């Protein structure tokens, strides 16, 4: 995609069209009763659509649903915690604000994967937060304090040299984590940031030669050059630039594939046979970079080329609403590795069902994919509905399927 050789298996697995195609193979297998762990009850999908619609209308009665992006988590108790930081940069060139926004969004999203049910964060203004909101504000307050900056005079930046030296102890301090307040995957998150710092230093052109993670905005601006920028181009830049930072679960041609799993129903006549890409955090990041670019006048198009996010809130929604049906008792008991066939199957069905749900929501409301893109369906939306039904169904709002996470997938 995006000018890469489609014969290149790594490029193929980075293409969101491949995500949909491989997930569709698993979806079709589930419909035919050929999957091991989950079946489908599509007759339950209309009620799921109605439930999501009610959640959306309660949150956004005026219909002005924003994109699913990290920026939503920086708003706590009605106050946007990013806004004063952006305002402090207003007297500087607009490019500085864009780079700072990219710095914050990228670092914060990379630190966003599941915190676990027990972790809490007490924000500077006294709010006690957990899960995604807690991780967002913790990372924002570290960013505002200059924890990722190499220049004490310019705290609102994330520099390669600092990221390359991040320790678990630094993150534990910033996230108030410890034995009494455990944060899942703390060491793995720190290791990922160190790899990010090393990657910026070793491949400076991908980051605009700025020495900071937000420099990823520079080649995107050059690619746009006054023309519309496809959402898939943002994902492509993210996957190419950040690919080496992920734990090496599957490697192909010496390239770490990142968030890619295996499933026997995903069939291909090449070396990608059996491989199912998801790139959840990378797509979440791509969604989160749209607004800073738009603020600089870049028009991002074809949002629905990206897929829905196959994580436990969206996937849990479909299980709790009876659309995805466990085939055996082991699904809901014990804990499962994020790379297991069971979890890959669950995530693939989630990708396909999010597309179907979006189509039905648009039809019910007389809207199209431009007025109600998938990014708004997610925000309005399935993610919030998944969280709500989990909270109403199980103590602590835990997902229906327990996943063993290293903090770099979900």
pLDDT at 245: 87
- For residue 59, give the nearest of 387, 319, 392 by alpha carbon: 387
126/146 Cα distance (integer angstroms):
20
Query: How high is the pLDDT of residue 407?
Result: 63
To which residue do tokens 């959640």 refer?
A: 55
Contact 156, 88 (CB under 8 A): yes
Domain boundaries, the chain: 9-404
Per-residue pLDDT of the chain (410 residues; tens, 9 = 90+): 444 445 799 999 999 999 999 999 999 999 999 999 999 999 999 999 999 999 999 999 999 999 999 999 999 888 999 999 999 999 999 999 999 999 999 999 998 877 777 899 999 989 899 888 899 999 999 999 999 999 999 999 999 999 999 999 999 999 999 999 998 888 888 999 999 999 999 999 999 999 999 999 999 999 998 899 999 999 999 999 998 888 778 999 989 899 999 999 999 999 999 999 999 989 999 999 999 999 999 999 999 999 999 999 999 999 999 999 999 999 999 899 999 999 999 999 999 999 999 999 999 999 999 999 999 999 999 999 999 999 999 998 999 999 987 666 66
- Positive/negative CA dihedral, 173, 175, 178, 184: negative
Q: How far apart are the C-alpha atoms of 383 and 405, rounded to whole Å?
A: 19
CA distances from 380 to 81, 83, 88, 228 (A): 21, 22, 30, 25
User: 3-state SS string over 118-154?
Assistant: CCCEECCCCCEECHHHHHHHHHHHHHHCCCCCCCCCC
**Straight-line distance from the first to the last Cα atom of the chain, in angstroms, rounded to the nearest whole number:** 25
Residue 298 near residue 221 (C-beta atoms within 8 A): yes
Given the structure tokens 């060491």, which residue do they identify? 187
3-state SS assignment for residue 110: helix
pLDDT for the residue numbered 2: 43
Q: Output phi, psi for 218, to 5 deg.
A: -65, -55
> In the 8-state DSSP scheme, what is residue 73?
G
What does the pLDDT read at residue 24?
A: 98
Q: Positive or negative, the Cα torsion across 16, 203, 9, 34? A: negative
Residue 118, pLDDT score: 86
Other C-beta atoms lying within 10 Å of the C-beta of residue 66: 15
Q: What is the pTM of this model?
A: 0.92
């Amino acid at each position: 995609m995006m000018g890469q050789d489609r014969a290149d298996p790594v490029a193929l697995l980075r293409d969101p069209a491949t995500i949909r195609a491989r997930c569709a193979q698993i979806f079709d297998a589930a419909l035919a009763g050929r999957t091991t762990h989950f079946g489908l009850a599509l007759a339950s999908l209309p009620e799921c659509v109605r439930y999501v619609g009610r959640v959306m209308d309660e949150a956004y009665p005026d219909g002005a649903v924003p994109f699913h992006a990290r920026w939503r988590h920086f708003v706590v108790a009605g106050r946007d915690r990013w806004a004063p930081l952006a305002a402090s940069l207003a007297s500087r060139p607009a490019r500085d604000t864009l780079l700072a926004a990219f710095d914050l969004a990228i670092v914060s999203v990379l630190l966003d994967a599941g915190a676990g049910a027990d972790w809490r964060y007490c924000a500077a203004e006294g709010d006690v937060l957990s899960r995604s909101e807690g991780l967002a504000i913790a990372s924002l307050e570290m960013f505002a304090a200059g924890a990722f900056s190499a220049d004490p005079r310019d705290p609102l930046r994330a520099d390669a040299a600092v990221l390359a030296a991040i320790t678990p102890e630094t993150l534990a301090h910033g996230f108030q984590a410890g034995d009494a307040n455990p944060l899942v995957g703390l060491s793995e998150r720190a290791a990922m940031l160190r790899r990010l710092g090393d990657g910026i230093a070793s491949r400076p052109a991908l980051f605009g030669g700025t020495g900071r993670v937000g420099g990823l905005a520079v080649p995107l601006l050059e690619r746009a050059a006054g023309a519309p920028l496809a959402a898939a181009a943002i994902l492509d830049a993210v996957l190419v630039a950040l690919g080496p930072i992920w734990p090496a679960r599957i490697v192909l041609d010496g390239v770490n594939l990142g968030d890619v799993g295996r499933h026997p129903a995903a069939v291909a006549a090449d070396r990608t046979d059996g491989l199912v890409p998801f790139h959840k955090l990378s797509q979440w990041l791509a969604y989160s970079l749209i607004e800073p670019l738009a603020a600089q006048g870049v028009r991002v198009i074809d949002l629905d080329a990206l897929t829905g996010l196959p994580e436990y809130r969206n996937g849990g929604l479909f299980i709790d609403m009876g659309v995805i049906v466990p085939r055996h008792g082991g699904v809901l008991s014990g804990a499962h590795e994020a790379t297991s066939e069971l979890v890959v199957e669950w995530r693939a069905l989630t990708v396909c069902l999010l597309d179907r749900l979006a189509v039905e929501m648009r039809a019910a409301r007389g809207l199209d994919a431009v007025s109600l893109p998938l990014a708004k369906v997610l925000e309005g939306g399935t993610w919030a509905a998944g969280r709500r039904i989990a909270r109403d169904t199980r103590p602590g709002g835990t997902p229906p399927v327990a996943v063993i996470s290293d903090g770099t997938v979900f």
